[in-house]
A and B are shown apart, each in its own frame.
Chain A
């Protein structure tokens, strides 16, 4: 019998859960709080989990903390939308602004492995120009990293996750063949493809982080479509079943149910460790370096909550930009009815994609977007119907009977950075007694123009594919970024190209918050590529005595 993953930490007593076996364990090296470890990492998601593996593999001692539990997908994940809400960061947050962001399942996870445990697995590379959006495309900001270097790290993360993708990808500079073959397309993906073909646009099977053939102990995908509620077969290549087991094998320690409340700094400008809450008490882990990887809301919150007399506006915040420039990607959709049965919940939701509008600059707004197939499960679909069409009761019940005939496409778009959109501290406290995040957001005029354009194009494509009874889901947003941005200049950024704080030299932030611009594709592959690069850079810095 296995314990309840929420009741008490599972990663303890020299072992951690084996994610590939019901009730299984793997040995794990552990450190004492008084041991000064090389790296304390806050968060084990796309950024933190990847770094934990690479740094441990490079021989550093690593302790990685996550506020969430340590799941074994085979035994802990139910095929039940409601039960699986246990994966989300549902702790209180204050949202406000012209377009308040709905927090929770859509954008934040709270488990070992982070949001990738319930992400939709769409694994895309940035368009090269986006790394220099300001100088080549005239909007947003430049990244301090060039695309050629990123391309190499994309190669690496695609291999590490065995991305299943098309034989040739239609857009951007050449890339190596995806490690695994593409998945079969479901009927929803075929509708997307037909719409694109009718409009003369290219489309492709989506590169996905779920395996189309066995990989080690991971079973291949069974196309049951529970991806965004936790994949119970381990087909999904999330941090939880890729980098985390690698990290532990290489000697890293993972601490689950361990909420970091504050980063401690000495009288100078160096971090000395982290205060964390685990097993009912506050503790302090000593560390030579601290890496924050809690995603675009929790990372700035932790920095702000770690203010000292010397760092009154929050740690690493001499630029005043910690928490600013919050971006969320527009995630609007067009839905309708097909005359043929679709059964869109069968398979990963986004089996086909078009990036056409990311590579077309003949538009009267900045930024790009892509759109992809959809497969909302019934509860999510019912919610979409009530919010977008305003139908309830009997009308909703009748409309739900068309579930197997519904089809649609959803965009992931670029939101431009604005200092008005931000994460601050609220007066309210959470269960640990820590001030919660206050999130202010509103779409800019450019964002609205991009969304309108996308909705029009998506609607045309659905019409062209013969879909009827169309309606728009106008209010939705997903991936976050921008709140701890990297850059070339300490006055206009919080971190340098190595994700290292300009102010506190042994403090790094490495997750979705470091993006100066979010581009028009899903972010996690880019987050992980940055994490791989950061690990390499840390190794080089250490070799030169610069850590």
Chain B
């Protein structure tokens, strides 16, 4: 589909090409029209990057979280919506890789790898707010089958997904917190759109609201409890990969600020432009974010590589991953604001090459994707008993 050779280069090189040649050039149009970045996702599919995290024996790339986090940040530098779609897909893949150990789910992962399927997520529910650890909808079973109806206020790229992982109560009699994760395959699932997605930022994620109805073989209800899937896999992977999106977005803002300062420097060699000092400060904050994200990815990658549940189940690990999300979501806003200060009107104007409008609007989404207040409240409770650091 493109002139890019997506087969020979390394994963990171392929991501770089897609970010620079496809995602970046389309980012403004994706944002303006709130349209799905079809061409970027197609390039990721063709390049085999949708299957990066799937083990080699199931037909995937066998990458770890660290490598995927690098890919996400590279994509985020070109188009944050594309990076977020890719990140959210990998989060669902991670849950299947770690918790889909049955023959049916392993076969499904093989299909995800072979056909380049795109997976989405329906954790939020109407009436529940952002409390993803409780559900009101429930899985209804009949022999060998399940039925699920869920009112989902936000399913990113739901209309474009080949499968959606949805949370629900284990049975109609289960309490709200006793949840399972259900794989809703497209051919067995109906989506009725209930709301539009016309937001400030992340407009290309096309996160409309839907009523989701799924009827399928009950082997697609994942065997582990969602409590375990969430704490061991979905929460750390989400926070690391979301933070990687924000890192990429922040890097794009730094690129613009650097461009502005260097253009000024070229006009008057010998005198340091006033904004150069602000650039030095900005780069220091950007480095904080980069180091934060990369060290969290490394920490999780080590546990992932040896499948060490002791590490990821420990309270200190959960607290650290929660803190990562809160810090990174604040740093990204700080970084884009600083870049705006440096670029001045060139950053504030729409349509200027140094325009920071889209990046600023995207950055403000970070603190709301699972509200930081909820995450801090969670950590506050855990810190009542946590001792080690």
| A interacts with B | no
User: Interface residues, chain B, CB within 8 Å of chain A?
Assistant: none
